[in-house]
A and B are shown apart, each in its own frame.
Chain A
Amino acid sequence: MKPLIIVSVLLICTVLSTALYNKNVVGKQDTIDSFCIGLKPIKDIVSTSSRISFAGDAYHNEFYPISRYYLLPVYIRPYDKTTHNDTLLTVEVSQYPDSTINSILEKRHIIYTNNNNGYIYKLSTSN
């Protein structure tokens, strides 16, 4: 088969599919389990924090880091993925001062409650 045709088809398909992904997927709102809330860029985290913590494992309790590319050193308490539409998470936040967390969460329209010990937040998205 002609290399020119094969390479062209491969490239066109790749570009076309990426364009469709960009148009249809990238713009989508993150669900609560993806929870990409833009807390702090990873490049800042790696320079300021020694550790990004995960708790438990992903199967039994469905623990998640707080977001994909923007992570805080947090422990996320278990929540049931099947009921994640309830949008309720309990998050234990460490290292960062309350004011930082509060302002970030408010900016991202995330409703939260503090149990007064300074560490436990119940989060739910406002949409």
Chain B
Amino acid sequence: MQKSSIYIYFVAASIGCMSSIYFLLLILHLPLIVSGIATLSAFYFIAKWLMQLKTVEDEYVSPVKYAILIYGLFSIAYTAPSIALKHGAWDAWAIWNLHAGYLQDSHNWKNMFLNTSAAHADYPLALPASIAFIHKLAGDGLWINYMFHFLIAISIPAIIYLQTHKRSWLLSAIAFILICKDDFYITLATYQMADTMIAFFLLLAMIAIDNIDNDKRYRIVSAAMLGCCIWTKNEGIMLALLFLLFFYKELLYKKAYRDTLIGIALPLIAYVIFKTGFATQNDIMGSQSSSTLSLFADTERYKLIFTAWKDSINMHYYTISCVVALCILLAVLRGKFPDRKISFVFAACIAYSVVYMITPHDLSWHLKTSIDRLIHQLMPASAYACIVYLANTSFFNFRARFVTNPQSPE
């Protein structure tokens, strides 16, 4: 793990911690000053603990690498305001920011759960609680929401670049620039919804998994990021369960589960309390019945879902899908099963498709309003997984060809 990446982990862990603490103390009717002190103490503890993790710091880095990083990030900084909507997209102002507005009111915040029609009061609160807490400290201002989401948006390509540039600088730089210059990525990132946030947490969980061999404490970090996924969106629980299934050995095998429990505890507690004590019933889960199985016999639904995936990928995610296909092809040619991280992404796509199969909503509408964002959630993790996989193949591993005894990438 790069030392610089730890700072990005600090941002992610702070978001998870801040939102969980704020929500838990809101339930207890404790004043803001208590939340503030508790959150600041948690920040201090997290920072101190993260700094103790085993990291590497490069002795020399080419100025070109810095130049690319600076160019890419400044490019997003310049482009995002020209793309951003003033209040974010519909979901942002009618759901996420509206919930944040309720959570700012320590006396009447539970009125949020009276909005049962189209207001999605079952959505987890990592994003609204974070925004509410910051607004209570810094005052109202549209710039706060934008800044919060923008920081997450640039942290994603930054940490992909930081964590992969030593494996294959060429692939890393190409992926980094492609993300930074991707207007669709920037558009969704500035929508002020929770999709980029869950993509961020999932990516960090995946990166932490790759570092467990160097320091076992990265297991706690990975679990904490999974907890944040759960605490961010309803699909987070599905992603977390899939992740645990694919990385069973690292996260649950033998005594590993103890570290996993420690990492996941705080956001999971907040989530369980929220879901059992406050949230309204989820629209998809709440409408399931014995007739659900009959939906799987409807071939039209398969066609609609397949077409939606195809259209969205062709329109917005063509490059990354080609790279994923290349990774799978290389694995097949080598007679091996595709890389676990890539398989996980593939499994997540199948799981999303199953949810579409059982949706009680009009399927065309549901696909139209969400499939782009679901792929957006998986895109950063896919990019990272592909770079790592391709960098380890002999074709792309230029370094290994020219150096007789290359040090293994950190």
Contact = CB atoms under 8 A, between A and B. Distances in A.
Given A3-B3, A25-B81, A59-B368, A9 B90 contact: no
B108 A22 contact: no
Given A28-B86, A59-B362, A3 B78 contact: no
Contacts of A13: 73-74, 76-77, 154
Given A18-B146, A53-B117, 5 more contacts: A10-B158, A21-B80, A24-B82, A42-B105, A49-B111
Nearest to A20: B81
A17 B104 CA distance: 26
B86 A25 contact: yes
A46 B108 contact: yes
Contacts of B57: 2-3
B143 A68 contact: no
Contacts of B7: 3, 6-7, 10
A1 B69 CA distance: 10
B115 A52 contact: yes
Nearest to A47: B108
A16 interface: yes
Contacts of A50: 111, 114
A98 to B, nearest CB: 24
Closest 7 CB pairs of A and B: A68-B93, A17-B77, A20-B81, A6-B4, A13-B77, A54-B118, A42-B101
Given A14-B147, A17-B76, A25-B81, A30 B86 contact: yes
Interface of B: 2-4, 6-8, 57-58, 61, 65-66, 69-70, 73-74, 76-78, 80-82, 84-87, 90, 93-94, 97-98, 101-102, 104-105, 107-109, 111-112, 114-115, 117-119, 142-143, 146-147, 150-151, 154-155, 158, 162, 165, 361-362, 365, 368-369
Interface residues of A, number: 46
Given A10-B158, A13-B74, A24 B2 contact: no
Given A42-B101, A57-B118, A1 B65 contact: yes
A6 B119 contact: no
Interface string A46-77: 11011111111111100111001101000000
13 contacts: A6-B4, A6-B69, A10-B151, A14-B77, A17-B146, A23-B81, A25-B84, A30-B86, A43-B101, A47-B108, A53-B117, A54-B117, A68-B94
A71 B58 CA distance: 53
A34 interface: yes
Contacts of B76: 13, 17
A3 B58 CA distance: 10
B111 A46 contact: yes
Contacts of B85: 25
Contacts of A49: 111
Nearest to A54: B118
A71 B98 CA distance: 9
B101 A7 contact: no
A1 B58 contact: yes
Nearest to A52: B115
A30 B87 CA distance: 9
Contacts of B109: 46
A88 interface: no
Contacts of A58: 90, 94, 118, 369
Given A17-B80, A17-B81, A68-B93, A59 B369 contact: yes
A14 B150 contact: yes
Contacts of B162: 1, 6
Nearest to A29: B86
Contacts of B107: 47
A21 B79 CA distance: 10
B405 to A, nearest CB: 24
A57 B94 CA distance: 12
A51 B107 CA distance: 15
Contact of A21 (B105, B117, B143): B143
B86 A60 contact: no
Given A25-B84, A53-B117, A69-B101, A17 B90 contact: no
A24 to B, nearest CB: 5
Contacts of B154: 10, 13-14
Given A14-B147, A69-B93, A2 B115 contact: no
